[in-house]
Amino acid sequence: MANRFLLSLCLLVAACAGVSSPPAGAQEQPVTIESTALAFKIDEPSATRVGRLIWRGGLEMRASSRNFGGLSALHVTSDNRTLTSISDEGAWLVATPRFDAKGLLVGLGDARMGQLRGLDGKPIESKPEADAEAMARLPDGSWLVAFERRHRLWRYPSLAATPLPVEGPSDISKQPGNGGIEAMTGLPDGTVIAISEEYSRQPETMAGWIGKPDGNGRYAWSSFSYATIPDYKPTALAILPDGSFATLERAYDPVRGVRCRVMRFDAAQLTPGATVRPEELARLASPYAVDNLEGLAATRGAAGETLLWLISDDNFNPLQRNILMLFELAP
């Protein structure tokens, strides 16, 4: 019990303040990622399902770089060959997922890392400037990155390039310092959907925005609300292959530890002024594998099935883990 309390306390402190790590070099560098198989349910080795999620493998990851960790957003290409993530210390990671003969996730290879640059072209070094929490891949291949603490949106032609500022929603600065946009995704037509972790305009909801591109690198922003339940806050958003959306929600307290919900809602709910009310697909809590899950991606598998990828932010805390999990969404 004492160890569990210590772990919970460290999780709380790290989640609130973060544990600093030196920034990565600006130049792209190869990284060796060492992965061990993640137990899906520690008290039932044969378990393969929770809710509507079917286990397709998971990893606990360590790397040769001191800057590996804090992974707060996730993107996987439609062919499942390239995984991209960004860190809340401003680093970016690109790697190749590896699968076994059964299609289970077994590792990451060909990994490389670098540091996001600021508007001056120099690597971002300070935590208040480097706290990248969400990203969206845009139709032209560029990346829209959301930062918190100093809330802003920057567009990167590539993650190694110098960004351009993007005007965000008018109330983006009203978000709590450590509770900004953590859930964001891009649609095929260039529309951007974003949800705040802690900013609320009405009870039992979090603020969301719909950004319609105007063709000049700007967006026309409208607002919606995302319904929540007590303790749970949205940390990631992805568009599913069928055009609906999946979200991650995280809860934490020292007694129960970290819990996460995997949610889904139809695109028809996503209109200006509306309140999105998602359905729960699964709930992850001990003894199931779970940590500070903040990244979500969705792709199709070889047989046409929907795959959900989940990644965690370890806050550079040795008592937390960098985990990557892969699930198939049951019909």
- Best CA proximity match to 292, nearest among 6, 8, 44: 8
- Best CA proximity match to 77, nearest among 235, 210, 241: 241
- Best CA proximity match to 310, nearest among 141, 57, 108, 131: 57
Q: How, if at all, do strands 219-227 and 275-276 pair?
A: parallel
Question: pLDDT 10s digit of each residue in the chain, 331 long?
Answer: 333 333 444 444 444 434 444 444 457 899 999 999 999 999 999 999 999 999 999 999 999 888 999 999 999 999 999 999 999 999 999 999 999 999 999 999 999 999 999 999 999 988 889 999 999 999 999 999 999 999 999 999 999 999 999 999 999 999 999 999 999 999 999 999 999 999 999 999 999 999 999 988 899 999 999 999 999 999 999 999 999 999 999 999 999 999 999 999 999 999 999 999 999 999 999 999 999 999 999 999 999 999 999 999 999 998 899 999 999 999 9
Is 166 exposed, middle or buried (CB count within 10 Å of its CB: 0-12, 13-18, 19+)?
Answer: middle
**What is the predicted pLDDT for the residue at 128?**
86
**What is the predicted pLDDT for the residue at 26?**
58
**What is the predicted pLDDT for the residue at 216?**
84
**What is the predicted pLDDT for the residue at 217?**
84
Whole-number Å distance between alpha carbons of 310 and 317: 19
**What is the predicted pLDDT for the residue at 271?**
97
With tokens 């401003």, the residue in question is 90
Whole-number Å distance between alpha carbons of 134 and 144: 8
Q: How many CB atoms lie within 10 A of CB 186?
A: 22
DSSP for residue 77: -
**What is the predicted pLDDT for the residue at 206?**
98
CATH of the domain spanning 2-329, picked from 3.40.1010, 2.120.10, 2.60.40, 1.10.10: 2.120.10
Whole-number Å distance between alpha carbons of 106 and 100: 6
Is 103 exposed, middle or buried (CB count within 10 Å of its CB: 0-12, 13-18, 19+)?
Answer: middle
- Best CA proximity match to 252, nearest among 235, 276, 277: 235
- In the chain, what are the domain boundaries? 2-329
**Cβ proximity of 84 and 74 under 8 Å:** yes
- Best CA proximity match to 129, nearest among 174, 72, 90: 90
Q: How, if at all, do strands 192-196 and 205-213 pair?
A: antiparallel
Give the containing element (helix H, strand E) for 11. helix 2-17
Q: How far is CA 210 from the centre of its chain?
A: 18
Assessment of whether the complete model's pTM goes beyond 0.85:
yes
- Best CA proximity match to 192, nearest among 158, 146, 250: 146
**Cβ proximity of 236 and 74 under 8 Å:** yes
Structure tokens at 24: 């990565």
Contacts of 3 (CB under 8 A, 6+ apart): none
What's the sign of the alpha-carbon dihedral 250, 251, 257, 260?
negative
